[in-house]
Structure formats: structure tokens, C-alpha cells
Structure 1
Amino acid sequence: MNPAALQTATRARARMVERLRTEGIRDERVLGAIGSVPRHAFVEEALASRAYEDTALPLGFQQTISQPYVVARMAEVLVAGGRAMGKTLEVGAGCGYQAAVLSQLASDVYAIERIGKLLDKARANLRPLRLPNVRLKHGDGNLGLPEVAPFDSIILAAAATTTPRVLVEQLAPGGRMVFPLGQAGADQIMVLIERQANGGLKETKLDAVRFVPLLAGTE
């Protein structure tokens, strides 16, 4: 990107952060993380001029990059109350954008993507940023990563039709999981699950959202 285009993108990103603030995102850590990641580097070149709009954009493979507000909102839910995000599992790495944002808030990010070619794109997108605390894995996100569980935070970038119990079991005591619940093309709701210190679970329904479906298997 030439210097003039880079300057334009930087200004557009700053405006996006201010827009998120007016839309209700209050956590300055989250706003700082969003502001530090060049979203234009994660979308197709033909869509770069739209990178800082508050909208989901197509990635190919019938997947999308989530709209900035939703990325910020889900992160804010995980860090609410001054909480540290800690070791974090992201299900649905997509193009790598959300993992890059989470890397600014979490000690470690493990991001799973079921579509191998999309994961290759995420690796290429993330490589220039040199984020030492992000690890990408090709796999079925429904299964989580039991070999490195438990996780302090889990975030799903695809809608589950039922509460993903396998992932809930990978939450550490005091851990939080945020995910979209509902059928593709129908009403979906953002849900927060918190594992209490005594092992019990607390579930809170939050905002209406729209996500691609959480699918099983790999390709």
C-alpha cells in the first residue's frame, strides 16, 4: 500500500473506532485493539475501500469477515468487569482478523479454522503482523482443542444451533464463552456462558446477531 493510501486507511480506521465508541463500545482496551489492526489487510483487494465500514464482507468459501461492531462487542463481553481474557480459543479463524484483534487482549490465542484454504489465507494475512501469541490450527472447531484446554475465554465466529457442550467443558473455572446461537438465516442471539468457581454455569442472552453456521468436519 502506497503512503497516501496507508494514510487514508489510518484515518478511516480512526473514524471506525470513534463510530464504535458512539455505538456503545466503552472498553478502551477493546477500542485500542480494534484501532491497532489494519482491517484492510484482511479483506480482498477489491473490497479494501470498504474495509472500515461497519459491515460484514465476503471472504469466499461462503464465509464472511464479521462486522467491526460485532468483533468489538464480543471481545468487550469477554473482558467486562476489568477481566483479563487470558488463554483464548477462537472457533472460526476465517481470514485472521479477529485473531489479530484478540491478540492485543489475550495472553495466547488459539484459532481453529475448518477450511484449509481459508486458513492459508489467514496465515498469509497475519504473517506481516508478526504476532507471537497467535497459533492457527486446521481442525473442526466443534471439538475445540482439548490438548491445550482449559481456556479462560472462548469465542465462536459461527452460529451454533445448540449450546456447544464440548467447548463448555474446555472452559476454565471463571472462564467465559461467547457465541451466536440459532439457525442460519433465522433469528440468532449472542449468548454468554460463565463457568463459576464452583463449576456451575451461568448463561446470559445478549444481542441479536447474524452469523454463518457452525459446521462440522474439515475441508
Structure 2
Amino acid sequence: MNIEQARFNMIEQQIRPWDVLDQDVLNLLSVVKRENYVPAAYREIAFADLEVPLPAGEHMLFPRVEARILQELAVKKHETVLEIGAGSGYMAALLAHRARHVLTVDIKPELAELAKRNLAENGVTNAEVATGDGARGWPASAPYDVICVSGGLPVLPQEMLEQLKIGGRLAAFVGTAPVMKAQIITRVDEKQFRVADVFETYIEPLINAVQPPRFKF
């Protein structure tokens, strides 16, 4: 496999057509080597338009979804980022190249260890990995400039929104099967949040994600 050709094809055929036009984001996809974050058994499909399997029954997000979220969050060099769902560490690496510091959290120790190892091996020094349940955010290190939820949320927990700084942005996949909305929520002030629907997709919900209330008759 010609890795650079495959990377070029991923960017030009999958990602750019998905309205990812920010040249800094497109350049970053060449800098952060996706194949280094894909399990060895799946390296041949590192750039394919699919969710690459990870240990513990999880998957990486589609490349186009990762890139679009990265573009919409518009992370700046002075900002601190919380990511929920470390996976292989790839999204944390992308975020870390744009941020001052990234904390990525995974409930599955196997994935937290994988992410930690991948980030270290790829020289990412401004991202740390924690093991734990981030379904309601991670209040210990709050507030954050940016929160990126790399898993589905049937309901967006208020506690998570409260962990954003004023002007902070949160990316989340909100709703239930068959279709969720990828949303960017911006904290306008202490009480107000602005919601932008970016695209529709379906992402497996986080373990322990807050569920919508059940009607009782």
C-alpha cells in the first residue's frame, strides 16, 4: 500500500467533500499519522471510509467525522480541551496539535492504555490520558475551553455544559438511533448556550450516557 497516496485520497475524496475546507485542518491530517493510531491488524484500512475496530469492542470514528468536528471546534493554541472517549488517542493527538493542553478520558482501561502508549510513541507531550467515566464530563479539571465528546449522548447532561468556560465550545453527537445530530454548543454567558446542528450521523452511545426520561402511564 502506498501510504501517502492513501492519505491523499482520504483527504481529497472523503474529507474535503464533507465541507472540511480549513487548510490548517487538512494539513494537520498529513502531520498526525493516522496509521500510527490504528491497531496493526487494521493498518491496511487506516484511511478507509469506515469505523476502524479497536480493542474492547470499540471503533475509531470515520475520518470525515473527526476532521469535520476538528474544523467546527476551531481550537486555538491557548485553549484547554477535554475529550470524552480516548479510543486510540488519534483525536486527542489532532486536538493537541491545536491546543495548549488536552485531557482525554476513557472508561475502558485497555483503551486508556492504548491511547497513552500511542500518544507517547508519537511524541505528543501536551495530552494526558485518564481512566474513568466521563459520561457527565470531568469536573476535576474544569472549566474547559473546549469539550469534544467522541461518543453518542442520548441527552446532553447539564453538568457537562456547566464545565465550559464562557465562549467555550462543546462538540457532541446528540440523540438516539437511527439518527443523531452532531452539534456544536457554544457557551454565550453563565446561563445561555447557542446550539448549531452541523450534520446527522449515528455514533454508539457512551457507556453510562444519560438517558431520556421514560414516560410512565
Structure 1 residues not aligned, in runs of 5+: none
Q: Which residue of 2 aligns with 1:145?
A: 138
Q: Which residue of 2 aligns with 1:75?
A: 70
1:209 and 2:201 correspond: yes
Output the aligned Cα RMSD.
Answer: 1.8
Deviation at residue 43 of structure 1 after TM alignment: 1.7
1:95 and 2:92 correspond: no
Q: Which residue of 1 aligns with 2:104?
A: 111
Q: Which residue of 2 aligns with 1:165?
A: 158
Contact in 1 for aligned 2:55/2:110 (Cα 8 Å): no
* SS at structure 2 position matched to 1:112: strand
Deviation at residue 144 of structure 1 after TM alignment: 2.2
CA-to-partner distance for each residue in 1:21-75, whole Å, 9 max, x for gaps?
2332011121122221111122222211110112211113221001110001111
- Supply the distance in 2 between the matched residues of 1:195 and 1:23 (Cα, whole angstroms): 26
Query: Residue 192 of structure 1 is aligned with which of 166, 178, 184?
Result: 184
The AA in structure 1 aligned to 2:161 is V
* SS at structure 2 position matched to 1:65: coil
Q: Name the % identity.
A: 29
* SS at structure 1 position matched to 2:140: coil
Alignment size in residue pairs: 207
The AA in structure 2 aligned to 1:84 is K
- Supply the distance in 2 between the matched residues of 1:62 and 1:198 (Cα, whole angstroms): 38
Contact in 2 for aligned 1:64/1:94 (Cα 8 Å): yes
Deviation at residue 199 of structure 1 after TM alignment: 4.1
* SS at structure 2 position matched to 1:142: coil
Contact in 2 for aligned 1:33/1:105 (Cα 8 Å): no
Q: Which residue of 1 aligns with 2:27?
A: 32
Runs of 4+ in 1 over 3 A off after TM superposition: none
- Supply the distance in 2 between the matched residues of 1:76 and 1:34 (Cα, whole angstroms): 11
- Supply the distance in 2 between the matched residues of 1:143 and 1:162 (Cα, whole angstroms): 10
- Supply the distance in 2 between the matched residues of 1:96 and 1:167 (Cα, whole angstroms): 21
The 1:104–1:161 alpha-carbon spacing in structure 2 relative to 1, beyond 3 Å, is same
Deviation at residue 143 of structure 1 after TM alignment: 3.5
The AA in structure 2 aligned to 1:181 is V
- Supply the distance in 1 between the matched residues of 2:164 and 2:24 (Cα, whole angstroms): 23
The AA in structure 2 aligned to 1:27 is D
- Supply the distance in 2 between the matched residues of 1:177 and 1:56 (Cα, whole angstroms): 22
Deviation at residue 93 of structure 1 after TM alignment: 0.4
- Supply the distance in 1 between the matched residues of 2:105 and 2:119 (Cα, whole angstroms): 14
Q: Which residue of 1 aligns with 2:50?
A: 55
- Supply the distance in 2 between the matched residues of 1:198 and 1:96 (Cα, whole angstroms): 32
Deviation at residue 198 of structure 1 after TM alignment: 5.5
- Supply the distance in 2 between the matched residues of 1:98 and 1:198 (Cα, whole angstroms): 29
- Supply the distance in 2 between the matched residues of 1:110 and 1:29 (Cα, whole angstroms): 22
* TM-score (norm. length: structure 1): 0.88
Structure 2 residues not aligned, in runs of 5+: 210-217
